[in-house]
Amino acid sequence: MKKILAIIACLVFVSTGAEAVEISLGFQAELRTASGTLIKDVYGNGMCYFPYATVKLGKGFTVGAGYEFGYSRSGMIGLYKEDTTLKVSGIEAFVGYQFSISMVTPYVFVGFGSFSYKQTVDSPAAQDVDFRKSTFFAAAGLKISPMKYGYISAEVKYVPLMVKPYEDEVDLGGLRLTAGIGFSFGL
């Protein structure tokens, strides 16, 4: 993750002399859907949140980073229907391309995320899970700018996140359907 952030910083530094730089700060609410059947049956879908910052360099090339948090779901698990909780959060860095068509700006991103997942089960026989896993992801969306500096956004992001906390692999990944707001300013 440190290497990715260093590369992003270098790209920002090198390109700032070439053309005007546009910085965007935003906040998205995300519906986090579960791909894995076991996860979907026990915890289901849930909301998470994603504050982020992007820097548009030159002809639509964009770099950015953000933090996903807030997914915390409870359920019942196992033969004895014991209480369980799952929490997932992560740091993401991404690169992409966006192009403006009047007030509408479609975009695509690819990125790398490092996600923390914690599972607790209210049982003396179960061990808690507290791990971190990294993966690549992809997103596409659009921004609509009804005013000079502000925008609203909608996005679809897919994050594959296969983890193996015990002997069985489970799928914590899935689609994120997002809606957000933000503002942009140039330097």
pLDDT of residue 9: 58
Q: Is the four-CA dihedral 33, 35, 37, 42 of positive or negative sign?
A: negative
The answer to whether the CB of 12 falls within 8 A of the CB of 57 is yes
DSSP calls for 146-181 = SSSSEEEEEEEEEE--EE-SSSS-EE--EEEEEEEE
Angle at 47 between CA 123 and CA 114, to 5 degrees: 75
Domain span holding position 86 = 2-15+27-186
**What is the distance between the terminal CA atoms of the chain, rounded to a whole angstrom?**
27
Q: With respect to residue 58, please indicate whether it lies within any of the assigned structural domains.
A: yes
Question: CATH number of the domain that 31 lies in?
Answer: 2.40.160.20
Give how many domains the chain has, as a whole number.
1
Q: With respect to residue 137, please indicate whether it lies within any of the assigned structural domains.
A: yes
- Token couple for 88: 């997932």
Q: With respect to residue 22, please indicate whether it lies within any of the assigned structural domains.
A: no
d(CA 187, CA 179): 26
pLDDT of residue 52: 97
pLDDT of residue 16: 47
Q: With respect to residue 132, please indicate whether it lies within any of the assigned structural domains.
A: yes
Instruction: Return the amino acid letter for 73.
Output: R
pLDDT in tens, the chain (187 residues): 666 555 555 555 554 455 678 899 999 999 998 888 888 888 989 999 999 999 998 788 999 999 999 999 999 987 888 899 999 999 999 999 999 888 999 999 999 999 999 999 888 877 888 899 999 999 999 999 998 889 999 999 999 998 887 777 888 888 999 999 999 988 7
pLDDT of residue 1: 60
Q: With respect to residue 182, please indicate whether it lies within any of the assigned structural domains.
A: yes
Ramachandran bin of 78, using left for φ above 0, alpha for ψ from -120 to 50, beta for the remaining angles? left
